[in-house]
Structure 1
Amino acid sequence: MSSSKRGAKVSLDVMQGLMAAGQAASKGLDVRLKHLLEIRASQINHCAYCIDMHIKDAKLAGETDERIYFLNAWEEAASHYSEKEQAALALTEAITVLTDGFVPDEVYERAAKHFDERELGQLISTITLINAWNRINVSIRNPPTYKPGEHA
């Protein structure tokens, strides 16, 4: 598989729309949690550009190396994450993978115990948007060349 960037360009209007939607979706959401969710979805989707971006921005926001390192195995390293974060990570995986074609009730209900209706909507929107970004960047093979804070 080639790792070079492809020539396809994403519509500037679409990119601006996704960025505006991302800002609206995550407004008021804990920034460190937002980055953890974005890193985890990007790991699942194999999006090197987004992994690079969100790790760098998470560290800028004060996230620890240890929690970032364990993110790929968060269930086994559960003691590093709060119950609320674990519920959000489970929801991230369910929305990103959609193995059964839907988010299981128990995963949704687990998240609903820790987030109010508005926050749950923000989580779902944030997770959906990072998946869109992942698909764009993986499609065009955008290389991991992000400068910390560039899109913050």
Structure 2
Amino acid sequence: MTTNTTNTQQTTATADSHAGAAPAGTGYAPEHPARLNPAALAPEVYKAMVRLDAAANQGLDPVLVELVKIRCSQLNHCAFCLDMHSKDALAAGESVERIVQLSAWRESRHFYTEKEAAALELAEAVTLLTEGFVPDEVYELAAKHFEEAELAHLISSVIVINAWNRFAVTCRSVPGHYTPGQFKGHNA
């Protein structure tokens, strides 16, 4: 989930147009309903998250931010955020190939710059905090590629997408209905 996401609109649109079921005769599993809509039920928390997300991403390359958000969402198994950030990355000019390779970026390192690889490694360490904290060498590598303020924003961006992932996974936000830029200009 990002700054421009409104679960209220997404949940309402999903309920109205799909009613929790895949089109008849497709052979696909039925679409699960969302458990609840935190944007509607805790609007001040949601608005604060939107503002925090916007602040976290300031000064960072938008495509890099999308790559990091996709990778964190993969690790957290957040289908809603994977759908959103993959679409946003494509709309921002990212290639399908680089998005597809993110789950195995270490084996396909040649698709990414050293700076992107350092950001992805740091994002993984922060996301998987209980698997060894954030090793000094991972932090130091990122610090070689990012100025201190930029690094602080990158870490903040990783923390915020992890929070959004937890909202979306817990609330079972429904993937597949997001359109790039769908909520641009939405005031929080």
TM bucket, shorter chain:
over 0.9
State the partner residue of 2:51. Answer: 20
The CA deviation at 1:151 is 3.6
Q: Does residue 1:149 correspond to 2:181, yes or no? A: yes
Amino acid at match of 1:20: R
1:100-139 matches, within 5 Å, as 100=131, 102-139=133-170
State the partner residue of 1:91. Answer: 122
State the partner residue of 1:72. Answer: 103
Q: Whole-Å Cα distance in 2 between the matches of residues 31 and 81 of structure 1?
A: 15
Higher relative contact order (CA 8 A, sep 6+): 1
The TM-score with structure 2 as length reference comes to 0.77
Q: Whole-Å Cα distance in 2 between the matches of residues 96 and 17 of structure 1?
A: 21
Q: Whole-Å Cα distance in 1 between the matches of residues 68 and 47 of structure 2?
A: 21
State the partner residue of 2:60. Answer: 29
Aligned residues: 151
- Indicate which of 67, 70, 75 corresponds to 1:44: 75
User: Quick one: percent identity of the two aligned structures?
Assistant: 52
Contact persistence 2:73–2:161 (CA under 8 A): yes
State the partner residue of 2:89. Answer: 58
Q: Deviations over 1:1-21 (max 9, x none)?
A: x94311353511111111111
Gapped regions of structure 2 (runs ≥ 5): 1-30
The TM-score with structure 1 as length reference comes to 0.94
Q: Deviations over 1:78-120 (max 9, x none)?
A: 0000000000000000000113452111110010000010010
Q: Point out the more displaced range, 9-18 or 81-90.
A: 9-18
State the partner residue of 1:6. Answer: 35
Amino acid at match of 1:56: K
Would the alpha carbon gap of residues 132 and 69 (structure 1) be closer, same or farther in structure 2, given more than 3 Å must change? same
Q: Whole-Å Cα distance in 2 between the matches of residues 100 and 70 of structure 1?
A: 23
Q: Whole-Å Cα distance in 2 between the matches of residues 74 and 151 of structure 1?
A: 30
The CA deviation at 1:146 is 1.2
